[in-house]
Amino acid sequence: MDWTPDSQLLVVQGPDIRMVNPAGGNRVVFSEPKFPMNQAVSCGQGRYVVFRTLGRSGGAEANFWRVDSNGTNLKRLTFGVNEILPACSNDGKWLYYVDNRRKPIPETHSHRRRPARNNHQNLPPYPTISLPTAKPSRTFEARESDHTAMLVIYSLEDGKNRRSNSIARLADIAFMPSGKAILYSVREKGVDNLWVQPLDGSARRQLTHFTSERISGYAYSKDAARLAVGRGHADSDAVLLRNVPR
């Protein structure tokens, strides 16, 4: 999920990309029953919706496409094989994503709206763009001495390592709105909660105190006033069949 600048939630539900008003109501931004869609984000200060779609290019590729926020002017943005994890800069000029082809280290790419070109930077996989400046990126590395998971912050401008911290568990993480801490989920006894880890090395703290369900996603609104959390669970049953003829 992602937030638009006017504090609506952008979600993909079946064949639809929808803008959902937390106070009630929603509208379909774009609908496509033929090609599966996911990973929709609000870009260009709310002017565009960028989403990942499968097979729309005519093959088996997963690429990013863009529509205006009113659902018109569909345009293809990327031309790779398997691209994931879009993130838009706040100034509306850059779309960051990961080229997840079968290779030892995926590449982080950026696509700029003006001029239309791609910059390729040799950054670690699976980045999260910091707010509000949209300049740092984060990833995990394993410390050689004891294999402890380390959070590493890189600069998208020069690729240099700015600071690193050990983190309690490997998890999907996101920057807090201030850019001075990260937010990540921890699962204990089948229940997920969000924790905050400051980047200055101070102690982490628990943000949510749910007693049930798992977290499927989370995102802060652009003004940092709201936190959306997707929660749920999966039900399953086992069925025993006896004396079934072949």
146 and 105 within one domain = no
List the single range of 5-14, 63-72, 118-127 with lowest mean pLDDT.
118-127
What is the pLDDT at residue 34? 92
Question: Is 223 domain-assigned?
Answer: yes
Question: Is 244 domain-assigned?
Answer: no
37 and 147 within one domain = no
The pair of structure tokens assigned to 185 is 């989920």
What would the mean pLDDT of 80-109 be, rounded to a whole number?
72
Residue 40 has pLDDT above 60, yes or no: yes
155 and 176 within one domain = yes
pLDDT digits 0-9 by tens, 115-150: 223 333 333 445 555 544 445 555 545 455 555 666
Q: Are 84 and 97 in contact (CB under 8 A)?
A: yes
CA distances to 4, 161, 186, 189, 222 from 211, rounded to whole Å, are 29, 37, 13, 10, 28
Question: Is 242 domain-assigned?
Answer: no
Question: Is 238 domain-assigned?
Answer: no
**Which residues pair with residue 188 across a beta bridge?**
191
163 and 58 within one domain = no
225 and 174 within one domain = yes
What is the pLDDT at residue 107? 44
Q: In which domain, by residue range, is 155 found?
A: 130-233
Nearest to 46 by CA among 24, 63, 16, 66: 66
Q: Are 217 and 211 in contact (CB under 8 A)?
A: no
The H helix count followed by the E strand count for the chain is 0, 21
Q: What is the rounded CA–CA span in Å between residue 242 and residue 99?
A: 48
120 and 55 within one domain = yes
**Which residues pair with residue 48 across a beta bridge?**
43, 68
What is the pLDDT at residue 13? 92
Q: Chain centroid to CA 222: how far?
A: 14
123 and 38 within one domain = yes
172 and 50 within one domain = no
What would the mean pLDDT of 168-186 be, rounded to a whole number?
77
Which DSSP category does 203 fall into? P
Order the strands of the 107-112 sheet from edge to edge.
83-88, 94-99, 107-112, 117-121
210 and 150 within one domain = yes
73 and 191 within one domain = no
Question: Which CATH number does the domain housing residue 225 bear?
Answer: 2.120.10.30
Number of domains forming the structure of the chain: 2
74 and 158 within one domain = no
Percent of the chain with pLDDT strictly greater than 70: 71
Mean pLDDT of the chain: 78
What is the pLDDT at residue 92? 74
How would you class 164 by CB atoms within 10 Å of its CB: exposed for 0-12, middle for 13-18, buried for 19 or more? middle
Q: Which of 127, 162, 189 is the last residue of a domain?
A: 127
170 and 79 within one domain = no
What is the pLDDT at residue 158? 67
